[in-house]
Amino acid sequence: MNYKQIAELISKSKKKTPAIVYIQGNFNEENFKEQVFQAFGEGRFWILIGDYPLIERWIERNRDKIKDHYVEITARYSALPLLDLKKVKARIEPGAIIREGARIGKDCIVMMGAVINIGAEVGEKTMVDMNAVIGARAIIGKNCHIGAGAVVAGVLEPPSKKPVIIENNVFIGANAVVLEGVKVGKESVVAAGAVVLEDVLPGVVVAGVPARVKGRVEDISQKEKIAIVKSLRNNE
For residue 164, being part of any structural domain is answered with yes
Positive or negative: CA dihedral 150, 75, 106, 110: positive
Burial of 41 (0-12, 13-18, 19+ CB in 10 A): middle
103, 182: one domain: yes
Tell me the residue range of the domain where 54 lies: 13-73
CB 157 within 8 A of CB 151: no
In this prediction, residue 222 carries a pLDDT of 67
177, 106: one domain: yes
For residue 149, being part of any structural domain is answered with yes
* CA–CA dist 163, 182 (Å, integer): 7
Single-letter amino acid code for the residue at 21: V
In this prediction, residue 52 carries a pLDDT of 97
Q: Which residues pair with 71 in a beta bridge?
A: 21
For residue 98, being part of any structural domain is answered with yes
Q: Which residues pair with 92 in a beta bridge?
A: 110
CB 86 within 8 A of CB 104: no
184, 104: one domain: yes
- pLDDT (tens place) for every residue of the chain, 236 residues total: 788 888 889 899 999 999 999 999 999 999 999 899 999 999 999 999 999 999 999 999 999 999 999 999 999 999 999 999 999 999 999 999 999 999 999 999 999 999 999 999 999 999 999 999 999 999 999 999 999 999 999 988 777 789 999 999 999 999 999 999 999 999 999 999 999 999 999 999 999 999 999 999 988 866 777 777 777 777 66
For residue 46, being part of any structural domain is answered with yes
Question: What's the order of all strands across the beta sheet hosting 183-184?
Answer: 103-104, 121-122, 139-140, 165-166, 183-184
For residue 188, being part of any structural domain is answered with yes
* CA–CA dist 81, 79 (Å, integer): 7
Q: Decide: helix, strand or coil at residue 194.
A: coil
108, 21: one domain: no
